[in-house]
Amino acid sequence: MMKIIKIPSVGYESNCWLLLEEESGCFSIIDPSSSIEQILQSIRQRNLDEKNLQYILLTHGHFDHILSVDALKKATGAPVLIHEGDESFLTNAEHNAYKHLFRRDLTMQPADRLLQDGDSLPLGSSTIRVMSTPGHTQGSVCYIIENIMLTGDTLFDQDIGRTDLYGGNMEQLQKSLQMIAAIQENYTIYPGHGSVTTLQKQRAYNPYLKTL
C-alpha cells in the first residue's frame, strides 16, 4: 500500500512529498524543497532506512523545487531524476528562474537519469508512471502511482502553474491539462503548491479544466 507524507517547507511554500511503499519500506522524495534537516528528520521519524530511498524525483526544474537536491543526494546516495526537457535547469540559474528573480546564481549537480514520457519506475511492489505534461516548463511531468497523482506546478487546486518563465508555453499547458482532464480515474492530486485535491473536483471546479 502506498502512503504519501508532506514534509514541511518554508520560504517558497513549495510542497515536498515523501512517497512510501509501506510493505517494502522503499520510498522516494519528490521535489525536495524542504531543508535537508527537515527531510532527514521526516525519514528518521518513520524509522525508514535511508538506503531504501530509491529516487529523488523532480516534477520540474524551478529553483523552489530543487533546493535540497544536492544535499539529499550527498546524505543518502539516491539518484536524481528529471525529465530530459528540464535537464539544464539544475545547472543553469537563468533556466531555473533563480537568477531571473534574485539576480544571483543557484545551481545543482546534473541529474543522474533523464526521464521520458511513459517511463516506469519500480517502487517496492508498485510502479511509478511518468506522464509528460509540458507547459509550465518543457520538462514538467506528473508522477502516477496507484491512486496518487503528483502534478508539480502543472495543476493546482482550482489553478494552474504560470507560463511566463523560461520554457513556459500556455498552448502546451492547455494541451497537457486536456490530457489530464480526459483521464477517467479519480486520482488524489498532490500538487507542487497548495492543498491536496482530487481530479474529480478539478474537472468540476477548476476554471482551466472546465473551459477545455
CATH of the domain at 187: 3.60.15.10
Handedness of CA 80, 164, 154, 157 (dihedral sign): positive
Between helix 36-45 and helix 69-76 the angle, nearest 10°, is 40
**Contact between 16 and 39 (Cβ < 8 Å):** yes
Q: What is the pLDDT of residue 38?
A: 96
Range of the domain at 29: 2-210
The whole-number pLDDT of residue 201 equals: 97
Domain count, the chain: 1
pLDDT along the chain (212 residues), means of 10: 91 94 97 97 96 98 98 98 98 97 95 98 97 98 98 98 97 97 96 97 93 70
d(CA 27, CA 49): 9
User: In terms of DSSP H, where are the helices of 137-205?
Assistant: 170-181, 199-205
Q: Which three cell numbers stand for residue 163?
A: 507560463
pLDDT at 10: 75
Q: Rounded to whole angstroms, how far apart are CA atoms 67 and 29?
A: 13
Residues in the chain: 212
- What is the model's pTM? 0.97
Cell of 123: 517502487
Q: Nearest Cα to 81, choosing from 39, 42, 28?
A: 28
pLDDT score for 171:
97
